Amino acid sequence: MAAPSLLNWRRVSSFTGPVPRARHGHRAVAIRELMIIFGGGNEGIADELHVYNTVTNQWFLPAVRGDIPPGCAAHGFVCDGTRILVFGGMVEYGRYSNELYELQASRWLWKKVKPHPPSSGLPPCPRLGHSFSLYGNKCYLFGGLANESEDSNNNVPRYLNDFYELELQHGSGVVGWSIPVTKGIVPSPRESHTAVIYCKKDSGSPKMYVFGGMCGARLDDLWQLDLETMSWSKPETKGTVPLPRSLHTASVIGNKMYIFGGWVPHKGENIETSPHDCEWRCTSSFSYLNLDTAEWTTLVSDSQEDKKNSRPRPRAGHCAVAIGTRLYFWSGRDGYKKALNSQVCCKDLWYLDTEKPPAPSQVQLIKATTNSFHVKWDEVPTVEGYLLQLNTDLPHQTASSDSSLAPNLQGVRMDPHRPGSNSTVPNSISDTTNSAKTEHTPMKGTSVKNRPDLKASTDFNAALHPSMATNTSNHNSCVVDMLRKNEGPHTSANIGVLSSCLDLRTVIPETSVSSSVSSAQTMVTQQTIKTESSSTNGAVVKDETSLTTFSTKSEVDDTCALPATKISRVETQATAMSFSKETPSNPVATVKAGERQWCDVGIFKNNTALVSQFYLLPKGKQSISKIGNADVPDYSLLKKQDLVPGTGYRFRVAAINGCGIGPFSKISEFKTCIPGFPGAPSAVRISKVLPLFREEKICFQNVEGIHLSWEPPTSPSGNILEYSAYLAIRTAQIQDNPSQLVFMRIYCGLKTSCIVTAGQLANAHIDYTSRPAIVFRISAKNEKGYGPATQVRWLQGNNKKAPLN
């Protein structure tokens, strides 16, 4: 964690949608990128459910239905997957609740649930200010404040330290309450405390940590409950313990419990001389407890003043949620207007990154041309941008320094919540879209295309072949060699409906490295067909180690390669492949003798980039790009260099957040295209040819065959002379190494369709690298030879004995 002076708070200043009114005593949970807020009060108790999307920076009010609970404050609020549980709280002044509600957030459906009472003892009494924590399939209720008076207007407070366990049913519903028998000294009664549950990785039992609270005076004690042995203890801690407090928040990220805000005693407090101050004040202090070492660390002390409004002002009764490694804080109250004796509530939204982001996935290729790459990588949650770098074996030539495309970024502070701030550096794309993950499951007799709102890229079929040109006879001899030796191109990409452009002119293995969503369609006659495909253009491998040991998995695809005896052929006929190796996590370094120089392509807001140029850095220096706590280079002062046709480039990417630049991804290598080869076939369709008397799920022995069809390449680069279609087949080689696919050619001709017979399908290999699928490849040939192929994965059931629809 950064030192206190380096904390990089961000206030969200631009957002859309209906912003909830300021309040305190509300609660919030996170479901993926959504922050869901319920309850609280300020001039009345709120009963709306508000949702904030941290990616789109939008507030919205979902249309809830069902048994909508009344508004409440200081209630229990936990999230289990996509269901949320609400227990207790104050429903009006002096009247508390002990009712339990469940919200199915996937349908915004409320339901009142009635758990069974404990086998011995009474169920929890109505209360507020309790803690309600989830671990596994159980919720743990501790403490709170009850009203001893039956008259809600005559409030007689009673602090609680009772402990209940609520067992949940899977998915929806609850079983009932129980009262666990605990050992050791029980914490004193309290309300407005916090409780979190943490379990060490690979060892130890889950433990609940209770901190602070109120029982007539603020508390600063820390208690630990072992949930396996049900033993209470008071751990000894190191470091400076935060001031006694209540109405604070506690959030766990990694092995740290972050404590922010709350009510704390006045300095030199004298209640008799300052009755209007109500013996408390709000604080903006910020500390964390390392739950592994039991050591406190102060990040912002109570004595630190903030004169620049660079962090949240003091508050209590706010909410905090952790999304990834980022903490969000919203609203709360900061004190009383003494003259009016009314509370003042904050309406601001802040976030803080607690650590640098993890490394993104490898850079993946969507499309390659002679002088550009369209690339993408998997999104990293809660980041402000991405630094993309490349290097090449080519000597860096003098490039034009057109600074009109490179704005001065020195000292820039990225605001991901400002609309329209797609990128801050040239070469980012303004007119490209992110890849989407889809699975086609069309209805009977329909042809389904990707929906436009999925923003799918359909440029996979426009890619040109990247490798050196060979003549037609070379291709034919390679195919014969491939069939004779049961060898062939090997790729299995596993993301949605994708298209893989692969080189079928050689017998060397290839790896899909792209995740663009194609416009592939699925045709159905008697049964639903599921397909997926993947797209690769211009990747090249020259790393011998990765070829001989290529059995590791990446997040994108499962890759394997030929035996080491084939390495020489790879070196002389490099084709569409990717390779990966670990890279240093430090983006700031000097270039040693013999090392390749990494150059910045730019800083991108989104996880896609159209790369046609890169920036040349001073000789002997690596990238010095820094974000947040450091400077961003002035790109307008750097020279640019264009990409060159037929050239290999290595890429890596790092994510950026308020703590700086994280570690770089593994390296991917792609090659720009040489003009003249045809693109990949597109819009692949599969329809079954079934016996009329067959119903329900069938195996291939009952299938007469399938009809495989496709559209010609959008960029044929001349006349198409023929197409070839291939099927991955079962062999002893695959049984020994399931990730190495072997292909058999099942069609060669001018037509854009073919029948795959039941006999051929009986020999099909089921690829289990992700979802079970049968793999087809289709490529086109022109005067120069075969171009990249489209790979289609026909999704199957989970039966390994017989492939199903």
DSSP 125: P
Integer Cα distance of 88 and 131 in angstroms: 10
Amino acid symbol at 475 = H
Integer Cα distance of 373 and 653 in angstroms: 14
Please check whether residue 502 is in contact with residue 512, taking contact to mean a CB–CB distance below 8 angstroms.
yes
The mean pLDDT of 18-47, rounded to a whole number, is 95
Q: Which band of pLDDT confidence, cut at 50, 70 and 90, is reported for residue 17?
A: very high
Coil, helix or strand for 478?
helix
Cβ-based neighbours of 114, under 8 Å, separated by 6 or more: 100
Of all residues in the chain, the percent with pLDDT exceeding 90 is 48
364-422 pLDDT, tens digit per residue, is 877 777 788 888 898 898 899 999 999 987 765 444 333 333 333 333 334 444 333 33
Of all residues in the chain, the percent with pLDDT exceeding 70 is 65
Backbone angles phi, psi at 636, to 5 degrees: -65, -15
For the chain, give percent helix, strand, coil, nearest 5.
5, 40, 55
Please check whether residue 385 is in contact with residue 327, taking contact to mean a CB–CB distance below 8 angstroms.
no
Residue-level pLDDT at 340: 58
Closest CA to 666 of 509, 554, 548, 540: 554
Integer Cα distance of 125 and 129 in angstroms: 13
Integer Cα distance of 802 and 697 in angstroms: 11
**H/E run at residue 689:** strand 682-689
Domains 364-393+597-622+635-672 and 682-795 share a fold: yes
Please check whether residue 311 is in contact with residue 285, taking contact to mean a CB–CB distance below 8 angstroms.
no
Q: Which band of pLDDT confidence, cut at 50, 70 and 90, is reported for residue 577?
A: very low
Q: Which residues pair with 161 in a beta bridge?
A: none
CA angle, 506 as apex, 502 and 510 as ends, to 5°? 40
Residue-level pLDDT at 739: 55
Write the CA distances from 668 to 368, 388, 546, integer angstroms: 14, 12, 12
Q: Which range, 83-97, 374-388, 609-623, has the best average confidence (pLDDT)? A: 83-97
Please check whether residue 373 is in contact with residue 611, taking contact to mean a CB–CB distance below 8 angstroms.
yes
Amino acid symbol at 122 = L
Q: Which band of pLDDT confidence, cut at 50, 70 and 90, is reported for residue 267?
A: low
Please check whether residue 699 is in contact with residue 803, taking contact to mean a CB–CB distance below 8 angstroms.
yes
The two tokens of residue 226 are: 């072992």
Q: What is the mean pLDDT of the chain?
A: 73
Region 364-393+597-622+635-672: CATH code: 2.60.40.10
Closest CA to 30 of 78, 74, 62: 78
Q: Which band of pLDDT confidence, cut at 50, 70 and 90, is reported for residue 268?
A: very low
Residue-level pLDDT at 549: 22
> How many of the other CB atoms lie within 10 Å of CB of 305?
7
Closest CA to 248 of 200, 313, 192, 309: 192
Integer Cα distance of 347 and 198 in angstroms: 31
The two tokens of residue 373 are: 């790459």
Residue-level pLDDT at 688: 83
Residue-level pLDDT at 155: 85
DSSP 318-379: -EEEEETTEEEEE--EEEEETTTTEEEE---EEEEE-SPPPP-PPPEEEEE-SS-EEEE---
Integer Cα distance of 272 and 269 in angstroms: 9
Write down the residue that tokens 């492949």 correspond to.
Answer: 577
Sign of CA dihedral 497, 503, 507, 512: negative
CA dihedral angle for residue 706, residue 711, residue 717, residue 719, rounded to 10 degrees = 70
Q: How much is the pTM?
A: 0.66
Write the CA distances from 238 to 219, 241, 289, 297, integer angstroms: 18, 8, 9, 9
Residue-level pLDDT at 602: 94
Backbone angles phi, psi at 282, to 5 degrees: -85, 155
pLDDT at 781 over 70: yes
Integer Cα distance of 472 and 413 in angstroms: 55
Cβ-based neighbours of 325, under 8 Å, separated by 6 or more: 253, 254, 353, 354, 355, 357, 382, 657
Coil, helix or strand for 571?
helix
Residue-level pLDDT at 573: 23
The CA R_g of the chain, rounded to the nearest whole Å, is: 31
Residue-level pLDDT at 767: 81
Domain ranges of the chain: 364-393+597-622+635-672, 682-795
Residue-level pLDDT at 344: 86
Residue-level pLDDT at 738: 59
Integer Cα distance of 498 and 790 in angstroms: 9
DSSP 189-225: P-BS-EEEEE--TTSS--EEEEEEEESSSEEEEEEEE
Integer Cα distance of 761 and 753 in angstroms: 16
Cβ-based neighbours of 593, under 8 Å, separated by 6 or more: none
Residue-level pLDDT at 381: 87
pLDDT at 554 over 90: no
Cβ-based neighbours of 287, under 8 Å, separated by 6 or more: 240, 242, 258, 259, 296, 297, 298, 299, 300
The two tokens of residue 350 are: 């802040």
Residue-level pLDDT at 369: 74
Region 682-795: CATH code: 2.60.40.10
Integer Cα distance of 611 and 53 in angstroms: 30
**H/E run at residue 545:** helix 544-548
The mean pLDDT of 708-714, rounded to a whole number, is 89
The mean pLDDT of 80-85, rounded to a whole number, is 97
Burial of 633 from C-beta contacts in 10 A (0-12 / 13-18 / 19+): buried
The two tokens of residue 377 are: 């990588």
pLDDT at 636 over 50: yes
Residue-level pLDDT at 673: 74
101-126 pLDDT, tens digit per residue, is 999 999 999 999 999 999 999 999 99
272-329 pLDDT, tens digit per residue, is 444 444 567 999 999 999 999 999 999 998 777 666 688 999 999 999 999 999 999 9
Longest dimension (CA), the chain: 100
pLDDT at 560 over 60: no
Q: Which residues pair with 79 in a beta bridge?
A: 84
Q: Which band of pLDDT confidence, cut at 50, 70 and 90, is reported for residue 357?
A: very high
165-220 pLDDT, tens digit per residue, is 999 999 999 999 999 999 999 999 999 999 999 999 877 899 999 999 999 899 99
Determine the straight-line distance between the first and last CA of the chain, rounded to whole angstroms: 51
Cβ-based neighbours of 664, under 8 Å, separated by 6 or more: 359, 389, 583, 584, 585, 587, 652, 653, 654
Integer Cα distance of 241 and 264 in angstroms: 13
Integer Cα distance of 333 and 339 in angstroms: 16
CA dihedral angle for residue 502, residue 504, residue 506, residue 507, rounded to 10 degrees = 90
The two tokens of residue 309 are: 């409004």
Q: Which band of pLDDT confidence, cut at 50, 70 and 90, is reported for residue 437?
A: very low
